[in-house]
A and B are shown apart, each in its own frame.
Chain A
């Protein structure tokens, strides 16, 4: 009897694992705590603090967002198929959260790029302020270019983004040209 129960329970658990719980504005209400964290009310049940994770951070940052509990288990509570289906306020707080999670300052201006002894030294202006960093040169993966969008990873694995290369001045482009 008991063995059967365990199996049933397990099957339920597996089924739960295998079904995607779609979060919509009808069943899910997100709100922001004073401390700036997000909580979720799902089907009338308070789920507490949650983390929102992009499943396609580069190619579709607003789609298929996985919402997970903020504890060690990081259990998935559901998926937001398209963030824009939600109301403005929700979009705002989730976007704010994502921006922090995928912290990636945007490079607005390139002061100098210098290559020395196998490392590239960058000095740039980002939307988060002036910054200097070093990236290992020649190693694939430190500079990812996708059309006009460039993502640079420094030696600490921090990321920086140039949203649109064509918006840089020709002088800056010239400085960058060799490193892309």
Chain B
């Protein structure tokens, strides 16, 4: 359970003023803020609701009060008190963005304040409680609390970028996430250490290169001078042998470099895919346990990218980032030591001229990254458009729109080209600028170094030493660059990691009671007691619905689209939990039942049929994977699916793709009916089960359904009322409320909404000559 906070909690500054001015005579029920006046100018408002008055305060200062000022100054607010007895008809008029809160004051509907979406929830709650007070009803105590949540980060005061995700990317505890992430690599501890050792070794080998390539080559071998070098200890005098040795050493260094690289690559290849796969598995596993509401709240696309790219993102820093920190640091220190030992003055010059290149890299790298992401974005758009055109090929041809489609695609294609040009242009300029800055630094170092060689400055330097020195200067560039972007990289991947952990840590809204009593034998008595439910707060889809269905009975649910019929069955299967009231199956609250018992005994055939990738056999056997061929065929026959399956070349072995490509709507529906038949549930829910099939097939399915509903409790939602005639009981739902209940006969006699609907349908059908 999330923490609850009383809605009467006020900011400190406001509380002080309210107390000083004695604004409230009775206890505060709800405090809310709004951000616009009735003319829709940004403006600060506070609303204070007590049982006998609504106090509205504003400073009438135009302009949005800066979110950076965490403490709003309430001292210049002026307050107006409206007695509850003066108010009536509190109304929220919702606009495209936000809305307006108004009430009848002195006989005239008067705006109180307006708000943008960020403040909508609270103001709606004020309106709700005000209505309750005005209707003289009792305020439900839980409506005066809300889940603990804030709009702004506690630390830095910035608004949270995503309102329903209370995480400030700047202030989140990156170290904690890092250590948690590091635990994924635990099984590879040894290999990671090995990678780091290899990194240090290759850094060492790298640092030897400038010596071989500089002093040894020029000052010793070419200058035929054995002094102060590794050759001094050797007994030869022939410098061609020394040259040979040097060449071997150089080749050896290069081979070592590559060898370390190869071993490292192999190790990385062993670790990364496993960790990425492991993370993906974990994310996928925890997604399976989440409630349906989690999926309706997020875009599927966002979820996909979380599973795929975030996991990869996160592991990259462990492989391409962290192991290189030490070697890079080592390279910097070692190079600097050699440089300062060789010539302190020149070292200072070299290091002082390094920053321009680093600054260019820090400043421009993100811009380059931006251009590239725009390139990917346009490429994605292009793919989407192409996909659109190819899948819609029939429509395009049917309307003769080939030419205009060409133009449409061309436009998107031009965008891709333009984005590519931009990115490439910038890349070229950036690279050039970076290299110029880098070259300037080495040219300057080289010039001053050359002056030392020419003995313009003292002490004199040998040519070989200068070459070694410049070698080290260029060795510095890599690590400097590395450290310029590692920090950004680090926060980006910690952000990705955070997103992954959020899914791993997400608590399902609908949870199984750990003390749930096993109940394998369900009879199928369903009772709803005063059930109220809404997908969003303050928007009730079902209001105080009560009904009983006895075991083995068939209940028909009738109503216009959007009336709440599907929501009702979603609650019985416990895809969602009721807001108020309770649902009992055989007298047991569904909240006290195990998911497995519930799901095993309830089968759903809905208007959205989903066919998984696999054979038709697999799809029918989905509900009961242990079913044998005979049972599956029996189920298919009962669902009138057998005939069309037999006509397919591969019969029950026909592969059907994701989304069931190749099957018509009616065929898919029949497969899902067969699935339900195979599940053999005690409670069967038919949600427009025959909506997508032709009349002939519907008759067949109706016949098989008649067989199927025997001895089961059936809830059937249908637009075609003739299919519900045999129902033991019918309920009519209008705007979330049950308005009529009874058998077909009773409701026809009642001559209410059902009668009206039935008449229209049968007459309309009769007029077209297809009625019964």
Contact = CB atoms under 8 A, between A and B. Distances in A.
Do they bind each other?
Answer: yes
Interface of A: 2-3, 6-7, 10, 33-37, 49, 51, 57, 70, 72, 99-105, 115-119, 121, 126, 128-134, 136, 138, 140, 155-159, 178
Interface string B28-55: 0000000010111111000000000000
Given A128-B40, A132-B66, A158-B97, A119 B161 contact: yes
Interface in B728-770: 735, 751, 755-756, 759-760, 763
B158 A129 contact: no
Main secondary structure of the interface of B (DSSP, over half): mixed
B98 interface: yes
B118 interface: yes
A132 B67 contact: yes
B169 A102 contact: no
B368 to A, nearest CB: 10
Interface in B53-95: 62-64, 66-68, 93, 95
Nearest to A180: B374
B254 interface: no
Contacts of B68: 132
Nearest to A5: B759
A157 B116 CA distance: 9
Given A132-B66, A155-B161, A6 B381 contact: no
24 contacts: A2-B751, A6-B759, A10-B760, A33-B108, A35-B102, A35-B109, A99-B40, A100-B40, A100-B100, A101-B96, A103-B95, A103-B97, A103-B114, A103-B116, A119-B169, A121-B158, A126-B42, A128-B41, A130-B63, A132-B159, A134-B158, A138-B373, A157-B97, A157-B117
B15 interface: no
Contacts of B41: 128-129
Q: How large is the interface on B (under 10, 10 to 19, 20 to 34, 35 or more residues)?
A: 35 or more
A51 B99 CA distance: 13
Contacts of A10: 756, 760
Contacts of A119: 161-162, 169
B548 interface: no
**Considering residues A115, A116, A117, A118, which has the most beta carbons from chain B within 10 angstroms of its beta carbon?**
A117
**Which 5 pairs between the two chains have the least Cβ-Cβ distance?**
A129-B63, A117-B169, A119-B161, A156-B117, A35-B110
Contacts of B93: 51, 70
A7 B116 contact: no
Given A3-B763, A103-B95, A116 B170 contact: yes
B62 A159 contact: no
Given A100-B95, A117-B491, A131 B64 contact: yes
B763 A7 contact: yes
Contacts of A35: 102, 108-111
A156 B118 contact: yes
A157 B760 CA distance: 41
A54 B181 CA distance: 50
B95 A102 contact: yes
A37 B756 CA distance: 36
A157 B373 CA distance: 23
A103 B111 contact: no
Contacts of B492: 117
Contacts of B169: 116-119
B42 A101 contact: no
B97 A104 contact: yes
